[in-house]
Amino acid sequence: MEIREIIKNALIFPTRNLETLSIYAILSILSAAFLTEGIITCIFGIVDIINLVIGIIFIIIAIIIGLLTRRISIDCIKSGIEFEDKLPDFIWWKSFGTGISKVIITIFYFIVPLLIVILIAIVTNVFGGIMTLVEEILLLAPNALIQNSGSFSDAVYNAALPLFISLTITISLGLIIFLIFSFFQVMAESRLANTGSLKTALNVIGAARDIKRIGVLKLVLLSVIIYIIAAIFGVILTILCDHLLFLSLLSIVITPYLVLFSQRCFGLLYSDIV
């Protein structure tokens, strides 16, 4: 399916599922409200154990509601894969399993690149460089304050330069790795939507093969277009809100719309290899 056709279909898709769009919006508001109230209540819970317990309960409720919204996003992907214009009826008690699977996928495709980046940091001696810099500062700072010597700045510079190089390499490679794994995660969620199998979704090699079959350039280009469209919506909304404050309420609808739109895009893209 051509990218132009994918975008056109996905832009219309949320308007054909207004009931689900409304449910997603309401659930998102409730989740945000419970999470915010839970965090605030937990802060007060530092001095009051009852507030701490209530705050934790609110946060748990927010997480449970969040699981329901994640099921909707997977359903959007599945509808794209199967070329269905209508989403299935929302049955909340059937949504928790899929929601939990999506959370596991998100955590997995964050932890793996994080571990790789930590390994790179070890190889490039980032942690050793930090320790060396701290030791130089602690060792020379007292004398530097008394003598006002330039040797302190020279020593700090000599210790900081290797650390700067190590950090530059680690951060650069880290950004690339996290970007790659974000594409893997898109494929993983599509694999979950297509098969319903968490094991299949967590198969990194399988996700990489799917990207190769779809085409790296096509996936990257579609992702860029999705982000551009989301940015355009954001700019327009910001401009409107600057003139008419009450229009900020549109964000309640715009954000769920963009979620349904983007997930539909990836579902239609994945349909090329199903």
Give, in order, the Cα–Cα distances in Å from 73 to each of 82, 148, 225: 15, 61, 19
CA 178, CA 176: separation in Å to the nearest integer? 6
User: Hey, what are 130's tokens?
Assistant: 């930090």
Model confidence over 162-192: pLDDT tens digits? 889 999 999 999 999 999 999 999 999 999 9
Model confidence over 65-101: pLDDT tens digits? 988 888 899 999 999 999 999 887 777 766 788 889 9
Confidence at residue 104, expressed as pLDDT on a 0 to 100 scale: 94
Question: Which DSSP string corresponds to 22-53?
Answer: HHHHHHHHHHHHHHHHHHHHHHHTTT-HHHHH
**50: amino acid identity, one letter:** I
Model confidence over 199-214: pLDDT tens digits? 999 999 999 999 999 9
Confidence at residue 143, expressed as pLDDT on a 0 to 100 scale: 61
Q: What mean pLDDT value characterizes the chain?
A: 88
Largest CA distance in the chain: 76
Burial class, 138, CB count within 10 angstroms (exposed 0-12 / middle 13-18 / buried 19+): exposed
Residue whose C-alpha is closest to residue 135's, from 169, 165, 158: 158
Query: Is-contact 117 173, C-beta < 8 A?
Result: yes
Q: Write down the domain spans for the chain.
A: 3-110+191-273
